[in-house]
Structure 1
Amino acid sequence: MRSYRADVEAFEKWCLASDRDPFPASVETVCRFLEKQGNTKAPSTVRRRLYAIRKVHRLLNLPDPTYHEDINLAFRRIRRGNSIRPKQAKGLTRDYLDRFLASEPATPWGLRNRAMLSLGYELLTRRSELVALRLDDLEEREDGTLRVLIRRSKSDPFGAGRIAFTSRETSVECPQ
């Protein structure tokens, strides 16, 4: 919802600066807005902004210009011409992990947080994989490490699962 709100605000702000009426918007107004957005935004952002404009027109019972063929063509041009690469999030470094672990209190929640942070870091799991772990998915081995069953992941939609191992340090963070 926050994104849609920001999208509508961006459209209204652009319309104000361009001396155009945002609602009801003309086909030309929406096309120009999308083209301007396509210069700096990812196609997925432009598409979401188009959907936000469409939704507001519907909610206000106004004629919806967003289904016009000119808008479809404008969006296709944006998709073809936009070469903005997705921003890759930076990975968590060991230094930051150590700081996070040190800042957690010695409470049950702090112990849980330390265990989750340590496991997530070492197993390179997604958030959804981490929260899906069950206690019986963790097995302490004789050498002090953990054997972890990751039952399903985004890259394993059929649930074949995979086995991963942790270091002794992470095993200490995960009381059983």
Structure 2
Amino acid sequence: MKKIEPISDPISIKQSLSTFKQGDIDLERWKLLTMGQYSHNSLLSFQNDWQTFLAYCKEVNVSPLPAAVTAVRRFIEHSAKTRKASSIKRYVITISLLHRVHSLPDPTRHREVRFTLNRLYSEKADDAAQANAFHLSHLNALQRQLGNSDRLKDIRDLLIWTLCFEGMLKRSELAALSFHSAIKEQEVYLLVVDDQRIELSPEASELIDRWLLVSGIIDGPLLRRINKHQQLGDAPMDHSSIYRVFRRAATELGMDGTLTFSGQSPRVGASVDLSESGKSIKEIQQQGRWKSPAMPAQYVGNKQAKDEAMDKFKRKIDKD
């Protein structure tokens, strides 16, 4: 938050408090209060968010300025029923700003309010839209559809989908793969990711051989951009190009508009498939290289395991 000097004159504080308690503050007044440090859109947000808080305080008959800690906490809980976490975060920023500028104790800094916010953000994160799972069935369908293609882009994209699923790769891990990350031992390849060796299937190994043959890559990034003329570039894939590859997967499967695949989708789908095959959360965590079992547990819908992992993680942070 930007540094705004509090009003120092007692008479000015009293007049300003009276004005802001009434509401309907024009943008010029907000600009003056914030010393011209915020954009027009930010001032509009302050104005709208403060009106929302004022309306709540009027409804429950409590003071908005200064606001009690309990009033702010209940306002947050009330707003959480219908508002996104980002909106509530803005409300809290606005309430905090007005208290600090008027030299009043900031109720949003109280541990009771912070605890409520942390709990809310955790709950809202659970409710956030998760990437659609990219399952083995999706990969198999794409292999049947594009497996015989000689097009450079088809071979590359099929390799990307396969490596991401079998290796449970993050986008950053995929982009960081080099020619030397794929080590051939006998008939199959081992993929080296963060010092971990992932044994690939014969199908994935065959795709790597085909890709290296048609691309001519002998050094540098393993996966690279391809322009509209089917010319291979020197630069590695970035996050936006990886996103487009997975968006293409949904299109090729005839699910465009129904499913939204992203670079995270194979990790979600592989976690679910492994769980359904009998793998434990711990085994999935190790295979996906997660530091905590919380995320794979969330992916497979094991909320209890996720909550236990999060509690353990928080206790570790507290000790540190």
TM-score normalized by structure 1?
A: 0.48
Larger Rg: 2
TM-score by length of 2: 0.27
